[in-house]
Amino acid sequence: QPNGVTNGEAPAEPHKLFDTILVLDFGSQYTHLITRRLRELSIYSEMLPCTQKLADLDWKPKGIILSGGPYSVYAADAPHVDPEVFNLDVPILGICYGMQEIAWHFGKNVSAGEKREYGHAALKIQRHSGKEAHVDRLFAGLQDDEEVWMSHGDKLSNLPENYTIIATSDNAPFAGIAHEQKELYGIQFHPEVTHTKSGNVLIKNFAVDICKANQNWTMGAFVDQEIARIRALVGDKAQVIGAVSGGVDSTVAARLMHEAIGDRFHAVMVDNGVLRQDEAKQVKETLTQGLGVNLTVVDASERFLGLLKGVSDPEKKRKIIGNTFIDIFQEEAKKIAAAAENTALAGKVEWFLQGTLYPDVIESISFKGPSATIKTHHNVGGLPEKMDLKLIEPLRELFKDEVRKLGESLGIPHDLVWRHPFPGPGIAIRIIGEVTAEKVRVVQQADKIFIEEIRNAGLYKDISQAFAALMEGKAVGVVGDQRLHGYIIALRAVQTTDFMTADAYEFEQKFLRRVKNRIGNEVQGVARVLYEITSKPPATIEFE
Ligand code: GLN
């Protein structure tokens, strides 16, 4: 369907337009990685909870992967997949719990193992010949001995009927199984984690060779269908409003909306006074001149700083900033709506743009346990409900690296696309204690120098997030023979792949000394510069 609309009905989601591998989640901490690995192979994949009823799906996957999970399939309250998946006549790959689920379904062949197996394991692949040779496709291109990653306590006690062994390990005689005729496979190890050396090859074998999924999921293909979907959804009159922050997600979402509906998309940027130095000005330049987005910048820095006066509790700071943002955004939205209605060029503001990404969706639908109710993803501050607007989330199928690729293909400047994350409450939570205009100035200037030096040294992309923060209290220093009772700046730079854990970046002394010199010379009122080396955990990346 070239225009992303099937038969003039509801706009089609990617799972209707791209071959899709469905990942059913049994609660493993690695499930999202299966989906990511497939996406990296340009294969579209979506995750749904293992409780998904097939009858409720209005699309058919090319193949299904059953994930791992913390439960034991033989336990009374263990989660089980809708048995209909086995009648769907598409290939199925069970990973760990997923394999145990297959073995349980076909004859209750699972029991508790003598010992847990956690970590690296040596896999021995068993090749087949004759009419069974097709089962070898899962391991095509792999060595006979492979290093894999295991994490299980249960094991297959027997081979289900009509199955054959395709791999073994010292501790797992059924490390891999395959049905002799049907496309059903099970593996005890985790191909989705990087510790399994050839995991990607295996996943590709399953998706491309066995499921015959097309590798056509590219951001170039996505952008066209997404623009068509937005147009179909919004129609040719209604208008959309959304907040932008200067970060990659909101910028990409805004650019996409502009591409789809032009000036009927209204972006609003609220300058809360605790942004990076010159940020509001730069965002305005990039979005309006560079990307053509219809943008209103509201300078509310004094209002925010006024409300933050005397407040040093981090939670209170966050609340004030969050609530004030909502108030201001609503005020602005009313103005835009009123102006829009007067022009008669277009219809009412009916939609609210939100830059939700797929990890947020995964987080809200992942399987949390047999008794847990699935919580729905809640919107930031409940703005759309409050304003009686419908929600539009053009990035909700995308991972962060896909958003970045999309951003580049939409012509968004490289530096912005690869920008480090910046928290919503901004510098307010990088100033320990009370926020004042003076402290904001000190942090902004120190931060600018730090980032500039990181860029000059070519380290920006190596580092996941870097910033300057202001410690509470003051320290003594001497500047030009004068005693100075000055501010204490802490520099923080971390490396991380997922922001769940992080390590402090190891700079060379020379580099840190250069940054210290520049901050000491150029930022008035600073007496000390510290480099913060705590990892996460125990620390968080931000200070408050
Ligand atoms: N809970 C199951 C076991 O211990 C499955 C583990 C998993 O899927 N990682 O064997």
pLDDT tens for 372-405 read 654 444 445 567 788 889 999 999 999 999 999 9
User: d(Cα 504, Cα 350) in Å, to the nearest integer?
Assistant: 45
Report pLDDT for 377.
47
How far apart, in whole angstroms, are the C-alpha atoms of residue 299 and residue 408? 29
Rounded mean pLDDT of the chain? 92
Q: What is the reported pLDDT for 17?
A: 94
Q: pTM score, two decimals?
A: 0.88
The reply to whether ligand 1 has any atom less than 6 angstroms from the CB of 277 is no
- Residue 431 CB–ligand 1 contact under 6 Å: no
Pocket of ligand 1 contains residue 28 by CB under 6 Å: yes
Instruction: Please say if the pLDDT value at position 100 is more than 60.
Output: yes
Single out the residue of 49, 152, 151 nearest to residue 110, CA to CA: 152
What are the residues whose beta carbons fall under 8 Å from the beta carbon of 125, sequence distance 6 or more?
A: 139, 142, 143, 144, 145, 146, 166, 167, 176
Q: 450-481 burial string, b = 16+ CB within 10 Å, else e?
A: bbebbeeeebbeebbbbbbbbbeeeeebeeee
* pLDDT tens digits along 150-168: 999 999 999 999 999 999 9
CA of 114 to the centre of ligand 1 (A): 14
Residue 191 alpha carbon to ligand 1 centre in Å: 14
- Of 431, 420, 438, the closest CA to residue 318 belongs to 431
Q: How far is the CA of 152 from the centre of ligand 1 (A)?
A: 4
Among 25, 72, 149, say which to mutate for ligand 1: greatest number of ligand atoms within 8 Å of CB. Answer: 72
What pLDDT is stored for residue 4 in this prediction? 40
Ligand 1 midpoint to CA 54 (Å): 24
The pLDDT tens digits for 227-237 are: 999 999 999 89
Torsion sign across C-alpha atoms 240, 246, 249, 251: positive
Closest ligand 1 atom to 95 CA: 8
Smallest CA separation from ligand 1 atom 8, residue = 68
Query: What pLDDT score was predicted for residue 539?
Result: 93
Q: Is the pLDDT of residue 286 over 80?
A: yes
Is the beta carbon of 68 within 6 A of some atom in ligand 1? yes
CA dist., res. 430 & res. 364, Å (int) = 29
Q: What is the pLDDT of residues 104-135, one digit of tens each?
A: 999 999 999 988 889 999 999 999 998 889 99
Q: How confident is the model at residue 12 (pLDDT cuts 50, 70, 90)?
A: confident
**What was the pLDDT predicted at 282?**
93
Q: Give the residue, out of 152, 174, 188, 190, with the most ligand 1 atoms within 8 A of its beta carbon, to mutate for a pocket test.
A: 152
Structure confidence at residue 5 (pLDDT): 42
Quick one: which atom of ligand 1 is closest to the CA of 190?
Answer: 9
| Closest C-alpha to ligand 1, atom 3 | 152
ipTM confidence: 0.91
- Which amino acid does the sequence have at 63? G
97 CB within 6 A, ligand 1: yes
Q: In this model, does residue 479 exceed pLDDT 80?
A: no
Q: Which residues of 15-36 are buried (b: 16+ CB within 10 A; e: fewer)?
A: bbbbbbbbbbbbbbebbbbbbb
pLDDT of residue 360: 87
Instruction: Specify the pLDDT at position 10.
Output: 61
The pair of structure tokens assigned to 161 is: 């009927």
Query: What's the CA-to-centroid distance between 418 and ligand 1, angstroms?
Result: 37
pLDDT in tens, 485-499: 999 999 999 999 878
DSSP codes, 283-341: HHIIIIIIT---EEEEE-HHHHHHHHTT---HHHHHHHHHHHHHHHHHHHHHHHHHHHH
Residues 184, 185, 191, 197, CA torsion sign: negative
What was the pLDDT predicted at 364?
85
**Alpha-carbon span 468 to 429, nearest angstrom:** 11
Q: Is the pLDDT of residue 408 over 50?
A: yes
Q: What percent of the chain has pLDDT over 90?
A: 83
**Alpha carbons 157 and 173: distance in angstroms, whole number:** 9
Rounded to the nearest whole angstrom, what is the distance from the C-alpha of residue 163 to the centroid of ligand 1? 21
What pLDDT, on the 0 to 100 scale, is given for residue 3?
Answer: 38
Q: Among 21-35, 40-54, 89-103, 466-480, which is the least confidently predicted range?
A: 466-480
**Closest ligand 1 atom to 70 CA:** 1
Q: Which residues contact 265 (CB under 8 A, 6 or more apart)?
A: 239, 240, 241, 242, 254, 257, 258, 293, 294, 353
Active site residues: 96, 190, 192
| pLDDT at res. 7 | 46
Q: What is the pLDDT of residues 239-262, one digit of tens each?
A: 999 999 999 999 999 999 999 999
Q: How confident is the model over 173-213, as pLDDT tens digits?
A: 999 999 999 999 999 999 999 999 999 999 999 999 999 99
The tokens of 424 are what? 């919503």
- Which pair of structure tokens corresponds to residue 214? 């097309």
Ligand 1 atom 5 nearest Cα: 97
* Pocket lining: 70 vs ligand 1, CB cutoff 6 Å: yes
pLDDT confidence of residue 124: 97
Q: Is 66 in the pocket of ligand 1 (CB under 6 A)?
A: no
In the predicted model, is pLDDT for residue 42 greater than 60?
Answer: yes
Q: Residue 6 pLDDT > 60, yes or no?
A: no
